[in-house]
């Protein structure tokens, strides 16, 4: 006999279906929104809202940035982009702008 978990209610923003594992009651299940994809002059930004079954929410951000073909310059660009993204997120959340790497 196969036991099925009872379905759970999802927040209005949850995409449901295969994107949402919380609706099936899995211990590590998460509500997930449809990804928001923004194509820019520098690459692609994809954001997905996520919430675990306990109600803890987060925003997953995937960033694709086109780097220079020059290896030295590409390395410098990668470091600068990482630092600037960190600073932007800290500003948005009202946190200190000093990194703690």
In the chain, the percentage of residues whose pLDDT exceeds 70 is: 87
Position 7 pLDDT exceeds 90: no
Q: What is the DSSP string of 31-83?
A: EEPPPEEEE-SSEEEEEEEEEETTS-EEEEEEEEEPPPSSHHHHHHHHHHHHH
For the chain, the domains span: 17-93
pTM here? 0.74
Rg (CA), the chain: 18
**Residues 89/97, Cβ–Cβ less than 8 Å:** no
């Amino acid at each position: 006999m196969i036991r099925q978990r009872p379905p759970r209610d999802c927040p209005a923003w949850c995409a449901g279906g295969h994107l949402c594992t919380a609706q099936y009651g899995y211990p590590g299940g998460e509500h997930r929104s449809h990804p928001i994809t923004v194509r820019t002059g520098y690459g692609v930004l994809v954001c997905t809202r996520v919430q675990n079954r306990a109600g803890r929410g987060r925003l997953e951000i995937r960033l694709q940035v086109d780097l220079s073909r020059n290896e030295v310059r590409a390395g410098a660009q990668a470091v600068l982009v990482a630092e600037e993204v960190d600073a932007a997120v800290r500003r948005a959340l009202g946190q200190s702008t000093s990194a703690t790497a």
